Structure 1
Amino acid sequence: MGLFDIFKKKSQNSSSGSTQEFPPNNPEMQTVCLFFENEPLLDKATILSELKARFTNVETVDDDLSDSPLVFFFPDYLVPLQEGAVPAQGAIITMDQQLQLDRFTTAFRQSWHWDNAEKIMAACKYEINLTDLMSRSLPPMARLAYFQKFVSAVVKATNPQVVYFRNSDKLLDPSDFLKTCDIAQNDFLHAALNVRLFSVANGSEKELLMDTLGLHAFGLTDFECRFTDYDPSDIAKVLQNLAYYIFETGDTIRSNTTVEGIGKNPIWKTQFANAKVEPERLVVEIIPR
């Protein structure tokens, strides 16, 4: 875990603010991986019981094959299609391949919230994947709400050692994840949003870059900020506040406008940019004064 340098292929900033130069992010499938030291028991009845504790309505099919994904349907989250509305779905897929830790190198480096992540992952041998189906056109809040309830039910039923949100590249302690799913905590983006910190290889001394990762999977813009004279924890709060704002309100942060920052000159400028750190996506660059 720690800072690492950014190596840019070319300058990706633009001050024109033209949206034509920066295609919007397209919603992506939500995928969460659960990791286990011992082979997990996927008991459908137990999972369904946990789902019914979280959803007023949940359905499944009775003729599941042993080698097929378990699929559950959530009629309270209807997705409009040309042929008619269909319920959002959640699938559970058992993975057969051997677990390779090098898949999670970037996640280990950014696990500020969980010091033991790499050590616990090293002991895991089994993996199951959870995905959302037929839900990309739902509003981001509804889409995340139903999927996190689905994930929390499966976590409770299977007791994994590690929860990994692929779109935010974030490793989580299962008990920590379940706590953040509590509505009272009002921390609904804790798992789906990662705030990352990097040193800048070709920048001035002590120059840092912080970004968010995960909003792009809902068709929203992530944020990034390059800075030197601020505490990283303060910049993190600025980016998190912006992330929660656009996720809750559906509003957008436009290029060539201003947002509330911190310090003596708290009115900071914005501009659209291609993300300086992978994955490729549209971000709003926040420019401190």
Structure 2
Amino acid sequence: MATGFPPLTPGAPAVHGWRWRILLWAPHRLGFAAAVVVMLAASAWWAWVLFSRVWPLVALPLALPPILVHGAIMTLGFMPLFVAGFAFTAGPKWLAVAPPPARALLAPVILQVAGWAAWLTGAHGGVWWAAPGLLAAALGQALVAARFTGLIGRSRADDRWHAGIIAVASWVAVVHLLALAYAVVVQAIPHALVLVRSAVWLSIVPVFISALHRLVPFFTSSALPMVDVWRPWWVLVVLLGAALVEAAFEWGGRGLQDAAATRGIVQPLFCKFPVGWS
């Protein structure tokens, strides 16, 4: 017999069993659930691609390089959804503002999930599936970034730098998605591969740097009250600078050369299957 249990989210009603509406109790529930869906879909697709190398009978024609499809969704697909869930749960506390309801993020999240579904479809169906998928994901990400930027604008907290870094990284993800869509349309595959790696350093890594710089001293002082909070700003600057240097290396010639070489290595692995990219 099912028993009622109090939810982990304060203020939410007790439920019997699991319901879809639980995802709307808090932003992190919605964002994390959507991220897991995208991650599982990407992982299942990639496992199928690898399996098709062993058993070609299950292979389908590839319209895009699988390394690009996989790299893009693993970088700009599920990670921004995890970031959104985290940012709209922890961010309002950092900024001392009222958090938005999870329902306010529903449309952007659906856009991103649908966009990445179209992107995976475009791996076989062609650029006219893939590019609109990236544009839908970019629109969803832009709506998330705009709402989070609005929270920062309403805040009067002394420290808005950490949230600001996450907001900038979110907008950088939008730029990379738009540029990636263009690169796919014009078949600039080496540039598209560099965009994927650039997004790691300019969009994903800064979020981790900012969150860790903010949270590690907080959790340390909570567990060890005798230890003073130590959050030197130079550490944040050095780590962000290192990420910028890595991104500069990607665009400084090394990344394009590596991308072209990677394409030359990977393409022959799929040459025995019907492949639509060259």
Q: After TM superposition, is the score higher than 0.5?
A: no
Structure having the larger proportion of residues in helix: 2
Normalising by structure 2, report the TM-score: 0.25
TM-score, structure 1 normalization: 0.24
> Which protein is richer in strand relative to its size?
1
